[in-house]
Structure 1
Amino acid sequence: MDRCGEGEAVIRRLQEALDIAGEENKVKEARDVRLIVAQIQFLQKNVEEALKSYQELSKEDPKDFRPYFCRGMIYSLLDRNEEAKEQFAKYRELSPKKFEIEKEDIGFLGNNPPSHFV
Structure 2
Amino acid sequence: MYSAILSRNPGDALKCALYAKMRRADWGGALRYSRRLRDAEPGEVEWRLIEAQLHELSGDLAKAERRFREVLAREPLLVRALHGLTLCMHKRFEGPTVFEMLEHSLQLAISEKRVPEERNIKPLIAQMHVVMGQLDVASEKLRNVINEDPRDFRPHLCQRIVYALLDKKEADEQFDIYRKPCAG
Q: Normalising to structure 2: TM-score of the pair?
A: 0.47
For structure 1, the residue ranges without an aligned partner over 5 or more in a row are: 98-118
- Note the C-alpha offset of 1:90: 0.8
Letter in 2 for 1:28: P
Letter in 1 for 2:122: R
- Note the C-alpha offset of 1:96: 9.0
- Note the C-alpha offset of 1:35: 0.5
- Note the C-alpha offset of 1:2: 6.2
- Note the C-alpha offset of 1:94: 2.8
* Deviations 1:28-62, CA, capped at 9 Å, x for gaps: 21111011000111221221111011111111111
- Note the C-alpha offset of 1:63: 0.6
Q: Matches of 2:105 and 2:145 in 1, distance apart? A: 17
Matching residue of 2:178: 91
Q: Matches of 1:17 and 1:96 in 2, distance apart? A: 35
Letter in 2 for 1:92: R
Matching residue of 1:9: 97
Q: Matches of 1:96 and 1:67 in 2, distance apart? A: 18
Q: Matches of 1:58 and 1:68 in 2, distance apart? A: 7
Q: Normalising to structure 1: TM-score of the pair?
A: 0.71
Secondary structure at 1:62 match in 2: coil
Letter in 1 for 2:159: R
Structure 1 outlier segments of 4+, above 3 Å:
none
1:32 corresponds to which of 117, 120, 132? 120
- Note the C-alpha offset of 1:79: 2.1
1:75 corresponds to which of 163, 166, 169? 163
Counting matched residue pairs gives 95
Matching residue of 1:106: none
1:68, 1:88 within 8 Å by CA — same for their partners in 2?
A: yes
* Deviations 1:51-99, CA, capped at 9 Å, x for gaps: 011111111111111111011111112222x3111111111123599xx
Q: Does 1:66 align with 2:154?
A: yes
Percent of residue pairs identical: 35
Q: Matches of 2:104 and 2:181 in 1, distance apart? A: 30
2:138 corresponds to which of 23, 27, 50? 50
1:2, 1:8 within 8 Å by CA — same for their partners in 2?
A: no
Instruction: Rate the CA distance shift 1:95–1:16 in 2: closer, same or farther, 3 A.
Output: farther
